[in-house]
Amino acid sequence: MATVCGFVEKIKYRNEDNGYTVLSLVDAGEEYTLVGSFHYISEGEMIEAVGSMTEHPVYGEQMTVESYEIKAPEDTAAMERYLGSGAIKGIGAALAARIVRRFKADTFRIMEEEPERLSEVKGVSEKMAMSISQQVEDKKEMRQAMMFLQEYGITMNLAVKIYQEYGPRLYGVLKENPYQMADDIPGVGFKMADEIARKAGIFTDSDFRIKCGVQYTLLQATANGHTYLPEEELLSQASELLRIEVSYIEKHLMDMQLDKRLVIRESEGKRIVYAAQYYYMELNVAKMLHDLNIRGQMPEEEIRHQLFKIQNEEQIELDEKQIQAVVEAVNSGLLIITGGPGTGKTTTINTIIRFFESQEMEILLAAPTGRAAKRMTEATGYEARTIHRLLELTGVPGDDRSIGMHFERNEENPLDADAVIIDETSMVDIHLMQSLLKAINPGTRLILVGDVNQLPSVGPGNVLRDMIDSQGFNVVMLTKIFRQATQSDIVVNAHKINRGEQVPLGKKSNDFLFIKREDPNAIINAMITLVQDKLPGYVHAKTYDIQIMTPMRKGAIGVERLNAILQEYLNPPGDGKAEKEAAGVIYRVGDKVMQIKNNYNIEWEVRNGYGIPVDKGTGIYNGDMGIVREINSFAELVTVEFDEGRMVDYSFKQLEELELAYAITIHKSQGSEYPAVVIPVFSGPRMLMTRNLIYTAVTRAKSCVCLVGMPEVFGDMVNNEMEQRRYSGLKERICEITRIS
Tallying the residues shown for the chain, one arrives at 741
Asked if 478 and 339 touch (Cβ cutoff 8 Å), the reply is yes
Distance of CA 459 to the CA centre of its chain: 10
Asked if 451 and 395 touch (Cβ cutoff 8 Å), the reply is no
Round to whole Å and give the CA distance between 191 and 288.
Answer: 36
- Annotated binding-site residues read 342-346
CA 86, 89, 95, 97 dihedral sign is negative
Round to whole Å and give the CA distance between 337 and 447.
Answer: 7
Q: Which of 681, 711, 684, 697 shows the shortest CA–CA distance to 527?
A: 681
Round to whole Å and give the CA distance between 703 and 33.
Answer: 56
Strand ordering across the sheet containing 228-230: 228-230, 270-275, 262-267
Q: Which amino acid is at 470?
A: S
Round to whole Å and give the CA distance between 378 and 362.
Answer: 19
Q: Which of 645, 640, 589 shows the shortest CA–CA distance to 616?
A: 645
Residue 13: what are its φ and ψ, rounded to 5°? -155, 140
Round to whole Å and give the CA distance between 6 and 105.
Answer: 18
Cα Dmax for the chain: 96
DSSP string, 511-578: SEEEEE--SHHHHHHHHHHIIIIIHHHHTT--GGG-EEEES-SSSTTSHHHHHHHHHHHHS---TT--
Round to whole Å and give the CA distance between 185 and 174.
Answer: 13
Q: Which of 324, 326, 547 shows the shortest CA–CA distance to 419?
A: 326
Asked if 523 and 682 touch (Cβ cutoff 8 Å), the reply is yes
First to last CA, the chain: 78
Asked if 434 and 405 touch (Cβ cutoff 8 Å), the reply is no
- Annotated binding-site residues for ATP read 342-346
